[in-house]
């Protein structure tokens, strides 16, 4: 077989986090047409890589992040001519469906969905593609009921018939549909939304747990089809009342540009626990987070907190050439941010109103000039609830 580069092993693309679910199977590479040569590769950081395959296109939905992300494009954007419908082959699931044009999936962390999309006279013989999504990332306090809404949308040109949706989780969890979870027919572009009540038993340890959302349906010709969305639910603990240091709280997720985020020290080098005292402009701080752009640390606040505050700046260990900006996000809203800061700036107070937010994220960007020397501190970072 032709060597499967550049698509699955070049340094260009390892930068996009291509780690196909289940590994790079030879049959998938054959289906992609790697033996044909003449590849056109147009990776787009946020959307898709495209490979020309004669009249068809292979579309890779990349997710380079550490959490599941919905990624959407269209057959036209993938370079296919206009048509009533297209055939979509899912190269990991080995299924073929029809789409009216939308190509969309929730892609697991560091995962890739590979599709082969083509104009195909037989499109109506394939079941419609459906997309399953969640309204929120499931975060549960053990013993307390949480709500979650799932949506199954028909992306096909034909209706999804006898659609029924199922959500399953670990043994002992209570999961009940609070609204209908079945529909006779879901036509093109419409959805079945179902609200679920989930409870993890009291005493469930914090951490990530698997849930599975399954949609079963039929094509108008009666062909059975199934779409499965694996989901990670997190069991979390409520933030403490009063003011606490964020470096003493567990985080839900953390990404960092150089090794792990450090608690109560500077970032140091790429190893864990090798930081120095947090120091900004000669001032030393006992508590806080030491990070390196690009960095993103997410905490659970459960709608119970009001304020995040910190003294922010470049750590003195990075020399004089770093530049970063700090952002505090409350759910999907940027609640506070700084201008681009350099090592010349003293520690700057940054405070965000996070009232009502389910999660907050502390984000450090590279200041627009790359991440070199960007050791940056959330000194004295506190949460008030």
Q: Which residues here bind Ca ion, judged by CB under 5 A?
A: 259, 268, 274, 323, 366-367, 369, 374
Q: How far is the CB of 295 from Ca ion (least distance, A)?
A: 12
d(CA 72, CA 297) in angstroms, rounded, equals 25
Q: How far is the CB of 15 from Ca ion (least distance, A)?
A: 18
Q: How far is the CB of 169 from Ca ion (least distance, A)?
A: 35
Look up residue 224 and give its two tokens. 């059975």
Q: How far is the CB of 263 from Ca ion (least distance, A)?
A: 11
- Going edge to edge, which strands form the sheet with 48-53? 48-53, 56-62, 112-118, 86-90, 95-99
Closer to Ca ion by Cβ: residue 97 or 256: 256
d(CA 157, CA 167) in angstroms, rounded, equals 26
Closer to Ca ion by Cβ: residue 21 or 287: 287
Q: Which of 285, 282, 280 is nearest to 263 (CA)?
A: 285
Closer to Ca ion by Cβ: residue 243 or 320: 320
d(CA 181, CA 193) in angstroms, rounded, equals 8
Q: Are 269 and 281 in contact (CB under 8 A)?
A: no
Closer to Ca ion by Cβ: residue 134 or 364: 364
Torsion of CA 53, 41, 112, 371, to 10 degrees: 180
Q: How far is the CB of 271 from Ca ion (least distance, A)?
A: 5
Omega into 321 within 30° of 0, i.e. cis? no
Closer to Ca ion by Cβ: residue 111 or 367: 367
Q: Are 103 and 58 in contact (CB under 8 A)?
A: no
Q: How far is the CB of 19 from Ca ion (least distance, A)?
A: 24
Closer to Ca ion by Cβ: residue 127 or 268: 268
């Amino acid at each position: 077989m032709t060597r499967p580069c550049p698509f699955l092993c070049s340094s260009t693309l390892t930068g996009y986090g291509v780690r196909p679910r289940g590994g790079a199977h030879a049959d998938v590479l054959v289906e992609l047409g790697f033996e044909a040569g003449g590849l056109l590769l147009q990776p787009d950081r946020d959307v898709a890589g495209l490979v020309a395959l004669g009249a068809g296109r292979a579309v890779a939905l990349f997710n380079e992040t550490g959490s599941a992300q919905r990624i959407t494009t269209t057959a036209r954007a993938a370079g296919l001519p206009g048509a009533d419908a297209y055939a979509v082959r899912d190269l990991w699931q080995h299924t073929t469906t029809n789409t009216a044009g939308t190509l969309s999936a929730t892609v697991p962390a560091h995962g890739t969905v590979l599709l082969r999309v083509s104009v195909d006279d037989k499109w109506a013989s394939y079941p419609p593609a459906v997309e399953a999504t969640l309204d929120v990332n499931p975060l549960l306090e053990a013993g307390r009921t949480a709500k979650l809404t799932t949506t199954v949308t028909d992306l096909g040109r034909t209706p999804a018939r006898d659609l029924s949706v199922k959500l399953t989780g670990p043994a002992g969890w209570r999961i009940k549909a609070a609204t209908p979870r079945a529909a006779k027919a879901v036509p093109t572009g419409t959805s079945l939304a179902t609200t679920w009540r989930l409870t993890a038993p009291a005493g469930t340890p914090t951490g990530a747990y698997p849930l599975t959302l399954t949609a079963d349906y039929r094509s108008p010709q009666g062909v059975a089809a199934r779409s499965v969305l694996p989901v990670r639910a997190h069991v979390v603990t409520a933030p403490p009342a009063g003011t606490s240091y964020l470096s003493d709280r567990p985080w839900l997720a953390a990404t960092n540009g150089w090794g792990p985020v450090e608690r109560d020290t500077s970032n140091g080098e790429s190893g864990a626990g090798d930081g120095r005292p947090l120091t900004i402009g000669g001032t030393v701080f006992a508590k806080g987070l030491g990070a390196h752009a690009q960095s993103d640390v997410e905490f659970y606040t459960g709608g119970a907190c009001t304020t995040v505050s910190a003294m922010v700046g470049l750590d003195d260990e990075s020399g004089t050439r770093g530049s970063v900006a700090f952002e505090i996000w409350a759910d999907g809203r940027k609640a506070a941010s700084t201008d681009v800061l350099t090592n010349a700036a003293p520690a700057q107070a940054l405070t965000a109103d996070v009232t009502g937010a389910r999660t907050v994220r502390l984000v450090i960007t590279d200041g627009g000039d790359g991440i070199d020397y960007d050791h940056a501190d959330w000194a004295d970072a506190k949460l008030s609830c």
